[in-house]
Amino acid sequence: MPISSAATNTLDIRPLSGALGAEILGIDLAHDLGDETIAAIRAAWLEHLVVFFRDQQLEPAQLLGVARRFGEPVEYPFVKGLDGFPQITPVIKLEHEKVNFGGLWHSDTAYLDKPPMATMLIARETPPRGGDTLFANMYFAYETLSDGLRRVLDGLTAVNSSAKADVTKTREDRIKDSAKTDARQEYNAEHPVVRTHPETGRKALYVNGGHTVRFKDMSGAESAPLLNYLFGHMTRPEFTCRFRWEPGSIALWDNRCTQHNPVNDYHGHRRVMHRVTLAGDVPR
């Protein structure tokens, strides 16, 4: 469905790239925002897929309060949340660690039956350089495929697992010090390879290198050639934007039509983020 420009004309919106991403300036999220402003932010988010805010001073309770204006916060299955705020997951890489949390292209927790609609991330401590996050537009990734390949993919289902080796390695440091005791050893979910966004009606690729292991009714070996092609295609530079974090920066991305990749280029420095994921629905 088209997004009304009237809904966003009250905001100072600065697009980050031709593909996706926009900074929204002049808003202090610590203050109570009216319904009209929230609606305008949401419209900008649906249009740009990920929106960013700078210089936000939000304590954990305030962060959750802002997140609740856009959806229902849910807990991450593997790592404990902050004390008193279980829906806020610390995303941390310490000075001596070499692997960063979630450090590969992925959409969040695609191995759940109902993956999150959105993720809100705030930077608490950032390295002097590096630690940027890349985002990619999965609408464009789908729309730029040939008609023939789109017809093939429209009929396929992907099998997603939390136990894929590349992504489990990115959790290891946090599992050592803050694992949830009630987490299952493995989560698995089947989702359409191409999902239709419930709010915009657009189709987006919904497989990712972190979680997708094969196509349903096919072996991993049979699935690999096409999956590997898609994993490379969907992160082409013209589909992406890059965001440089500063303390107080916030990103809010649409998990239904984007992927992201936190760049691991700041060894020897500490990076601390707080993440809130918002409940989603069953991909269709």
pLDDT (tens digit per residue) in 44-57: 999 999 999 999 99
Residue 261: the pLDDT is 98
Residue 269 bears catalytic tag: no
Domains identified in the chain and CATH numbers: 5-278 (3.60.130.10)
User: How many Å from the N-terminal Cα to the C-terminal Cα in the chain?
Assistant: 17
Find the catalytic residue in 42, 48, 108, 173. 108
Find the catalytic residue in 195, 197, 211, 275. 275
Percent of the chain past pLDDT 70, that is, above it, reads 97
pLDDT-derived band at 279, boundaries 50, 70, 90: very high
Question: Whole-angstrom Cα distance, residue 183 to residue 172?
Answer: 14
Residue 8: the pLDDT is 57
| CA torsion through residues 5, 142, 195, 112, sign | negative
Assessment of whether the complete model's pTM goes beyond 0.85: yes
Find the catalytic residue in 48, 191, 197, 260. 260
Residue 106 bears catalytic tag: yes
pLDDT-derived band at 176, boundaries 50, 70, 90: confident
Residue 9: the pLDDT is 64
Residue 275 bears catalytic tag: yes
Find the catalytic residue in 106, 191, 195, 211. 106
